[in-house]
Amino acid sequence: MSDLISKDQQHVWHPFTQHHTAGDPLAIVKAEGVYLFDENGRSYIDANASWWVNTHGHGHPHIAKALSEQFQTIDHIVFAGATHPKAVELAERICGHLPNHFQKVFFSDNGSTAVEIALKMAIQYWHNKGEHKQRFLAMHGSYHGDTFGAMSVGQRGYFNAPFEPLFFDTDYLDFPNGSNEIVILERAERLLSSGNFAGLIVEPLVQGAAGMRMYSTEFLDQLTTIAQKYDVLVIFDEVMTGFGKTGKLFSMDHCQNKPDFVALSKGLTAGVMALGLTVTSDKIYEAFLGEETTKALLHGHSFTANPLACAVACANLDLFEREETWHNIDAMVKWNEAFAEELEQFDFVTNIRQQGTILAFEIQESGEASYFSDLKTRAYEFFLKQGVLLRPLGNVIFVNPPFCITEEEYGKVKKAVLEFLRTV
């Protein structure tokens, strides 16, 4: 065991990890482009984009320049009662990329806080208007983060069982699977017409952590139409789907109906800095104005609008504003389509699905399929041996590499997956 790994085991507690049974972590000592390098000089294609965050590859020179220049200008300052150019630039540019009613940006540090703040804004919006509306409608299988509010509207189950008695009540809609949609929409209408609901929260079009489950734009548009009909605030959690993943900049760009709030993080800073944004309208913002301090959103974080993170997010937008990035994204969408066709040859491969740059499928197993399934470990280790870092979710294998991946590198990922399938 290397020195790095033994010291890691002495002092580090990793996320989502049962340390009693987990193998040694990968000791990554360098990251460049789509590649990660371990202590022994082996390289791996970062085929899940470092937990879905990396958009343009590691160590991108444009991002590096922005980060270094910002450090020499302002590293960090208080954001209550003060402001700085990169926060203002980012807020203005993000609003420019969203539908017109998005005019106000609240900064935090990650996806969970971006969601938590949207929930708090929705509850306090009604509170400030003197209306008692505190319930949320969410969807089964959703993941919105690991803070208490975000867990309260996410899928209940073994991931958060110890805390469940402390969650607030949420109503859940079944996941739309093509045949149950009318029933779901009828139930949504019955619930939302009650007048008790502050908001509806969804991962638009793709549920990430549930295993890249996808549903139709038509369904989402119908659901949000019902919410809007009964004045229920709509929150799109685009923490995963934002920044090119679905083939457009945001998932909502596929939809007719737009939400009242959007939560952004993950791809926001090109996968380089911790930053979250909750973006909403002047209508929501204005409900927090008044003579009384208690009408304000009394929420904040020490690192709110960290200038380094804001500068990197602006540089990330520069790259998304380059045509070349969209050529790469469009090419990836096509490679995924071709890959999806090749997957048809395996009769145990089911539910092949694609939304833009995300391709996912399931391996039908005998017995219980679960997050802890053994297949996941076997696949993960097989891919590593092929020089590809790809973490399956249970029996779901999905690829979502950084958008700078070349056709040849993509081919290597595809080859590793096809070779694994031949061993199943």
Based on CB atoms, which residue is closest to ligand PLP, 111 or 244? 111
Distance CA 351, CA 10 (A): 42
Contact flag: residue 145 with ligand PLP (CB under 6 A): yes
For ligand PLP, the nearest residue by Cβ is 111
Smallest gap from Cβ 385 to ligand PLP, in A, equals 28
Residue of the chain from 135, 144, 213, 353 that contacts ligand PLP (CB under 6 A): 144
Q: Which stretch binds ligand PLP (CB under 6 A): 143-151, 167-175, 181-189, 346-354?
A: 143-151
| Closer CB to ligand PLP, 390 or 416, in the complex | 390
Q: Cβ 249 to ligand PLP, closest distance in Å? A: 16
Contact (Cβ atoms closer than 8 angstroms) between residue 90 and residue 310: yes
Q: Exactly one of 57, 176, 199, 208 binds ligand PLP (CB under 6 A); which one?
A: 208
Long-range contacts of 337-346 (CB under 8 A, 24+ apart): 339/399, 339/414, 339/417, 342/414, 342/418, 343/421, 346/421, 346/424
Binding ligand PLP by CB under 6 A: which of 90, 240, 279, 317?
Answer: 240
Compute the least distance from the CB of residue 125 to ligand PLP, in Å.
Answer: 21
Euclidean distance between CA atoms 417 and 411, whole angstroms: 10
Q: How far is the CB of 289 from ligand PLP (least distance, A)?
A: 29
Answer for which of 106, 125, 126, 143 binds ligand PLP (CB under 6 A) is 143
Contact pick of 116, 203, 260, 362 for ligand PLP (by CB under 6 A): 203
| Minimum distance from residue 96 beta carbon to ligand PLP (Å) | 23
Task: Please tell me whether residue 414 binds ligand PLP under the rule CB under 6 A.
Answer: no
Measured between alpha carbons, how far is 199 from 227 in angstroms, rounded to an integer? 8
223 close to 186: Cβ distance less than 8 angstroms: no
Q: Give the nearer residue to ligand PLP in terms of CB position, either 143 or 339.
A: 143
**Cβ proximity of 343 and 336 under 8 Å:** no
> Quick check: helix, strand or coil at residue 202?
strand
Beta-carbon contacts of 105 under 8 Å, excluding residues fewer than 6 positions away, are 90, 91, 94, 95, 277, 278, 279
Distance, in Å, from the CA atom of 400 to the CA atom of 397, rounded to the nearest integer, reads: 10
Interface with ligand PLP: number of residues (CB under 6 A): 15
Q: Of 101-140, which residues contact ligand PLP (CB under 6 A)? A: 110-112, 115
Helix residue ranges per DSSP H, 230-281: none
Q: Does 204 bind ligand PLP (CB under 6 A)?
A: no
Q: How far is the CB of 237 from ligand PLP (least distance, A)?
A: 5
280 - beta bridge partners? 104, 261
CB closer to ligand PLP out of 233 and 343 = 233
- Residue 73: strand, helix, or coil: helix
CA-based torsion, 327, 240, 250, 297: positive or negative: negative
Comparison of 203 and 362: residue with beta carbon closer to ligand PLP: 203
Candidates 117, 220, 239, 397; binder of ligand PLP (CB under 6 A) is 239
Question: Per CB under 6 A, which of residues 280..309 are in contact with ligand PLP?
Answer: none
Q: Give the shortest CB-113-to-ligand PLP separation in angstroms.
A: 7
Closer CB to ligand PLP, 233 or 416, in the complex: 233
Of 207, 240, 213, which Cα lies nearest the Cα of 48?
240
**43 CB-side CA count, 13 A:** 9
Binding to ligand PLP (CB under 6 A) within 252-271 occurs at: 265-266
**Contact indicator for 213, 207 with CB cutoff of 8 Å:** yes
Whether the CB-CB separation of 87 and 309 falls below 8 Å is answered with no
What distance in Å separates the CA atoms of residue 200 and residue 135, rounded to the nearest whole number?
Answer: 9
Q: Of 235 and 314, which has the nearer Cβ to ligand PLP?
A: 235
Residues that bind ligand PLP (CB under 6 A): 110-112, 115, 143-145, 203, 208-209, 237, 239-240, 265-266
